[in-house]
A = this chain, B = another copy of it.
Amino acid sequence: MTLRPASGRTNVIALLAEVFREQGFEGASLSAISKATGLGKGSLYHHFPGGKEEMAQAVLDEIDAWFECEVFNPLASLAPDAIDAMFNAVTDYFRSGRRVCLVGAFALLDGRDRFGARICAYFRRWNEALAQALVARGYGPRKARLRAEEIIAGIQGGIVLARAMNDTASFDRLIVRLRRRARRQTP
């Protein structure tokens, strides 16, 4: 099935994101990208003169923007339910582990050399924002950072497990437990 050409740049980027998520950076061939977006190679290079790397950069830009708006800013705003909202948001965003965290996947193998700085910044920002929110819940600064680290690692590992076992329930179970860890102050 050939999709009709995606209209806006934003729309194209969303389709690109899913290709990279499923195939990785190396695995995402231009023909697969062309098929998924409904755009010919010429059109793709018109929108992204830098080729595949620029496409991935654009995807990472949109991921950054989404997390900043939907996760990091709410956490840092210290709203009382911000942490619960974060767990809801990531469960929905990662579709209980069916959908890969592209930044995590790039960190693991596909884009560490190309996107290393952005990958690092993404996780650092997440950790900072979550730690702030935990401090607002009564954690000491040091414990908050450690707990944030543990929660983010749990989410990333939950995606790996859910993909490995093809079982979203394992991701949801982990989220339940991580939610509890975010409430409880003592380890």
Q: Give the number of copies in the complex.
A: 2
B26, B149, B164, B177: which contacts A107 (Cβ < 8 A)?
Answer: B164
Q: Can you report 17 residue pairs joining A to B where beta carbons are below 8 Å apart?
A: A23-B26, A27-B27, A27-B109, A104-B108, A104-B164, A108-B108, A120-B165, A123-B165, A149-B174, A150-B154, A153-B153, A153-B157, A153-B161, A153-B174, A154-B157, A156-B161, A177-B187
A residues in contact (CB < 8 Å) with B: 21-24, 26-27, 100, 103-105, 107-110, 112, 116, 119-120, 122-124, 146, 149-150, 152-161, 163-166, 170, 173-174, 177, 180, 187
In the complex, what residues of B have CB within 8 A of residue A173's CB?
146, 149
Q: How far is the CA of A160 from the CA of B163 in the complex (A)?
A: 15
Query: Which B residue sits closest to A155, measured CB to CB?
Result: B157
